[in-house]
């Protein structure tokens, strides 16, 4: 349980450098930043997929998408096989903003991981991949 609590504490605390180092300078909220990162890294997704992928409440995803859409950073894509299902993707302006955030994300990553050796970073990456798969398994098990 101690490891779980440590992870929860870290997951909460990492929001501060991402907010202060990336979101605020870019003029977006932390939730908007999460959506930009998800769409930039994963490609077009439906709102419920973004909620699951980023561990966000669907209402917060919807608000972030609406705000980013108003800015012209996100656009809707109609699914030709199911016209009621809307996907979202970064627009050209959204991609520009995403690329501009890259150096700030690099600064945050450099600061956070500067005390880790390369083999520790690789090990951490492998462990996080396994834990991500486990968490997604929990979602499927729980029927989310």
- pLDDT at residue 59, as a whole number: 97
Is 15 a domain residue? yes
Domain with 55, as residue range(s), is: 2-113
Is 143 a domain residue? no
| H-assigned helices in 14-117 | 15-18, 24-26, 30-42, 47-54, 58-71, 92-113
Rounded CA-CA distance 38/68 in Å is 13
Is 118 a domain residue? no
Closest among 75, 71, 78 to 26, alpha carbons compared: 71
Is 17 a domain residue? yes
Is 119 a domain residue? no
**Residues in the chain where the model's pLDDT stays below 50:** none
Is 49 a domain residue? yes
| Domain CATH for 70 | 1.10.10.10
Is 123 a domain residue? no
Structurally, the chain folds into a number of domains equal to 1
pTM of the model: 0.86
- pLDDT at residue 85, as a whole number: 79
Is 60 a domain residue? yes
Rounded CA-CA distance 45/64 in Å is 14
- pLDDT at residue 142, as a whole number: 65
- pLDDT at residue 87, as a whole number: 94
């Amino acid at each position: 349980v101690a490891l779980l609590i440590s992870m929860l504490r870290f997951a909460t605390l990492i929001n501060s450098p991402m907010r202060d180092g990336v979101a605020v300078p870019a003029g977006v909220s932390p939730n908007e930043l999460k959506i930009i990162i998800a769409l930039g890294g994963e490609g077009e997704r439906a709102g419920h997929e973004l909620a699951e992928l980023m561990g966000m409440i669907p209402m917060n995803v919807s608000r972030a998408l609406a705000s980013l859409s108003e800015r012209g950073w996100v656009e809707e894509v109609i699914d030709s096989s199911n016209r009621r299902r809307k996907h979202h993707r970064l627009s050209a302006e959204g991609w520009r903003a995403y690329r501009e955030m890259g150096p700030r994300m690099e600064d945050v990553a450099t600061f956070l991981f500067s005390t880790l050796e390369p083999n520790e970073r690789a090990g951490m990456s492998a462990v996080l991949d396994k834990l991500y798969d486990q968490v997604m398994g929990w979602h499927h098990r729980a029927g989310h």
